[in-house]
Structure 1
Amino acid sequence: MSRPLAFTNVRLVDPASGYDGPGAVMVVGGVIADVARGGDLGKLSKDVEVVDGKGAILLPGLVDIRVKTGEPGSETKETLKSAALAAAAGGVTTIVVQPDTHPVIDDPSVVDFILRRARDIGLVKVFPAGAATKGCDGERMAEIGLMAEAGCVYVTDADKPIANSKVFQRVLAYAKAFGVLVAHRPADPWLSAGAAATSGEFASRMGLPSAPAMAEKIMLERDLALVELTGARLLVDQVTTAAALESLKRARDRGLPVTATTSINHLSLNEIDIGDYRTFCKLDPPLRSEDDRQAVIEAVASGLIQIVVSAHAPAPAEDKRLPYDEAAPGAVGLETLLPALLSLHHDGRVPLIDLIRTVTSAPADLLGMASGRLAKGAPADLALCNPDTPVVIDADKLTSKSKNSPFDGRRLQGKVLMTVVDGRTVYRA
């Protein structure tokens, strides 16, 4: 059992309660024992470890519900341990790993393997997402009920859209019967096949194979129709275009049980950042136009998009240092999620407490987790951060095993000073 821990002289930002102000927090036995808003904790005993925050922000630990690792099967990309270390360095205390590994997480035994490995590593909390279909092949439904019983927190085929509407209808109906959330990437697979960029003048000038932004809206419209038919809960996996936002808003206005995410990459970058064929900016979905980026920022500010993810997708140098068309898509993001998100606060685009909600209480509430809040009795998953400290991202110094960061060389603001999971200090700057 770790020593009692007290955070004093901090600014508490707790979206779950709406509080943003001075205070202090006491941690005992892995849970939050006391929260002093606007004051201090009084006299503390000698056995308490006191951390003087010196005015830094104390947040609930970040909850990142879309993280890829290479384990099992492709450990050269990222192991569960290296991903957990990167998460801790980024103030992320809970991650949900995607099922498209080797073997695919489409069986209760693989779910159990991930959970046991995470417990053995003993850093951040790791939960698996199960595959919606066997092998993520979009054809045969996986054992959704058994995986949920084993501990997967939602089902998805990760980057692969389920093109067969009959199969997807069955997945939604079956998942609803077990109360399981379904996540799905809205991308028409035929329009998107082979695309490395978003259609438009920029892609044409660069000579890149591209897909229209409308491919996202087309698939989302189908998904929303099937949600209306089945009544199942849907997590729209990364909305990145203004056209899709229109469909999402109509669905939300009609009361459909739909939640949407977007990635920090699509909030921070646009298609021009590809520059001179920068493969570290080759993503899936591809980077969009500046108009789309601005629309997504507004959707986060309004609450239409409730959750922001890192979309952490490690790829080693040999998979990225290739001609743009041949390079693997994806970017690491666990360590840059918080400082990149804080850029929207520093630019005055979204209030700080609303930004922090998208990576704490919103994803925790969606998945029924007790974390993501600064409340008495809640798990002591915490991140201490100085939001004003300038940071120049150096990809070579990232903790992740792979270094494919689109933020390499970029100046951001926001430094994680300390990360605590269940009362244990797992990272200290």
Structure 2
Amino acid sequence: MSRVPKMKEWSAIAQRTAAASDGPVLIRNARVLDPASGFDAVVPVLLRDGRIAAIGEGAVADASTRAVDARGCWLIPGLVDLCARFREPGQTHKASFATETRAAQAGGIAHVVIPPDTQPVIDTPAMLIRLQRIAQQHGGVTVHGLAALTKDLKGEALAELSALKAAGAVGASNAYGPMPDSRIARRALEYAKGLNLTVHVFAQDMALAAGGCAHEGPVATRLGLAPIPVAAEVASLRFWISLVEDTGARVHFCRLSTARGAELIESARSRGLPVSADVAAHQLHLTDADVDGFDPLCHVIPPLRSTADRDALRAAVKSGVIDAICSDHQPHEADAKINPFPMTEPGISALETLLPLSLALVHEGWLTPLQALARLTSAPATIAGIDGGRIAVGQAADLVLVDPEARWVLHRDRMYSAGGNSPFIGRRLHGRVLRTFHAGREVFTASRG
């Protein structure tokens, strides 16, 4: 059974947190890491009126200040997650803003970008405003919406991108929707460029993917699973990059999964094309070998690839070819993962593992602390055009205290997300969020033990 508080309990939690967080806060003895500026030093930080009031010598307490001794901890910007589904509206049997907001806070996430494939689709300003109002009812995490690139994500007619941007959309995407007409795709990029709007593209050729569910390789062959070849990602990337060459539109490629895909992004960037890319955290750890035994918790789209692909993705994250690491959070109810592997719903509940999985790359020597944090904070903030992911005087006090050495085991009954569909349940993770501040208010404090 999931430990998910009832609505009355959520209200009580919010009231207790608000009461404990009013007034200025002085965080002492933490190692302050700001990847946007490269700052890395042990200095005090003062939070007042929802913002960072002082860093270093000017950060002093008075009688009204609550002091937090953070010796041995890191103080980092709140994470910016470029792809997370909260399942509301439309699929509240899986999760809701109440549960997933709390999971995001527990994961140290300050900003979340929601794809447009809610139910109904975010293809009108009214739907985007509805999403924003739902988010505001819960607070503690800043939620941003992507506009649907085409009406109802069908790839047949362009959505109201200008009106959606005016309503607050931080980009546009067709999510998993088809784009069978290349003329529509080109017009969409031309339209987006005129609006200075980034288009988020999930690169997978639907004809080549052909409804597959696993990486094309020995594991899928042995298990008899329909394959998704590397070419499905590569062909789509080549198509969209060619349109970027023609239009000059800014395109962000979401959730890369292959070495060849990373090579194409590197080539495009070397030619000065305005492209960026992200990868889901689980793709940096799991491979198609984890699918062996038909583990439904490892059913994801794009599929888990080979060890060589995983290591190439890690190298691309290190070099900056892949700008950002996202959660690709997709919570599911238990029934969604109990059918035979091809019939289960793809996706991982991933908000609470985004930071520790990224910090694992630091402990394994792949990334420096500032490199890892840049991929989680300042880089995704830049991609989404969000004012966040930084520690600076005057900046909103969206901050996270992290114990980088803490080792802990992910237990299903201790997850805040309503979805327990994580292949990392039972695994020992490295690095843990202790406190999360959003606009200077302490919205999450880790329980003891």
TM-score, with normalisation over the residues of structure 2?
A: 0.93
Q: Which residue pairs with 1:354 in the alignment?
A: 371
Provide the residue aligned with 1:137 in structure 2: 154
Q: Which amino acid in structure 1 is aligned with residue 392 of structure 2?
A: A
Residue ranges of structure 1 left out of the alignment (5+ in a row): none
Which residue number corresponds to residue 43 of structure 2? 23
Partner of 1:190: 207
Q: Tell me, yes or no, if the aligned pair for 1:314 and 1:404 is still in contact at 8 Å.
A: yes
Give 1:157 shift.
Answer: 1.6
Distance 1:25 1:369 in 2: 22
**Deviations for 1:75-118, whole angstroms, at most 9, x for unmatched residues?**
11111221111100000011011111111111100111111121
Count of residues in Structure 1 that have an aligned counterpart in Structure 2: 426
Task: Return 327-336 or 396-405, whichever deviates more.
Answer: 396-405
For the pair 1:109 / 2:129, whether they are aligned, the reply is no
Q: Deviations over 1:252-286 (max 9, x none)?
A: 00000001011101011111111311101100101
Q: Could you tell me which amino acid in structure 2 is paired with residue 154 of structure 1?
A: G
Cα drift, residue 326 of structure 1:
0.2
Query: Which stretch shows the higher mean deviation, 364-373 or 416-425?
Result: 364-373
Cα shift readout 1:199-239 (whole Å, capped 9, x = no counterpart): 01111011111111121011100000001111100000111
Q: Deviations over 1:301-357 (max 9, x none)?
A: 001000110000111111111100100000011001001111100001111100100
For the pair 1:264 / 2:281, whether they are aligned, the reply is yes
Alignment of 1:420 onto 2:437:
yes
Please tell me the residue identity of whatever aligns with 1:254: R
**Residue 291, structure 1, aligned to residue 311, structure 2:** no
For 2:270 and 2:77, how far apart are their aligned partners in 1?
A: 30
Percentage of matched positions with identical amino acids: 39
| Counterpart for residue 341 of structure 1 | 358
| TM-score, L = length of structure 1 | 0.97
Residue 403 of structure 1 pairs with residue 423 of structure 2:
no
Q: Residue 336 of structure 1: SS of its match in structure 2?
A: helix
- Residue 97 (structure 2) aligns with: 80
1:27-63 deviations in whole A, cap 9, x for unaligned?
1111111111xxx556410111111102200000000
2:349 matched residue in structure 1: 332
Hey, what does 1:171 align to over in structure 2? 188
Query: What residue in structure 1 maps to residue 26 of structure 2?
Result: 6
Alignment partner for residue 391 of structure 2, among 369, 374, 384? 374
Cα deviation 1:359-409 (Å, max 9, x = unaligned): 101111222222111100111000100011001111232111111112111
The secondary structure found in structure 1 opposite 2:313 is helix
1:246 aligns with 2:266: no
- Structure 2 counterpart of 1:124, from 133, 141, 156: 141
**Per-residue CA shift, 1:156-213, capped at 9, x if unaligned?**
1222352321111111111111111100111110011211101011110111111111
User: Which stretch shows the higher mean deviation, 359-368 or 374-383?
Assistant: 359-368
For structure 2, the 5+ residue unaligned runs are 1-20
Partners of 1:146 and 1:247 in 2: CA distance? 33
Q: Which amino acid aligns with 1:310?
A: S
For 2:404 and 2:199, how far apart are their aligned partners in 1? 34
**Higher mean Cα deviation, 74-83 or 156-165?**
156-165
CA RMSD of aligned residues (A): 1.2
Corresponding residue number in structure 1 for 2:7: none
Query: Does the aligned pair in 1 maintain the 2:223–2:292 contact within 8 Å?
Result: no
Aligned mate of 1:314, from 331, 334, 342:
331
Query: Which of the residues 220, 227, 249 maps onto 1:210?
Result: 227
Q: Which moved more, 1:270-279 or 1:361-370?
A: 361-370
Counting helix residues as a fraction of each chain, which structure ranks higher? 2
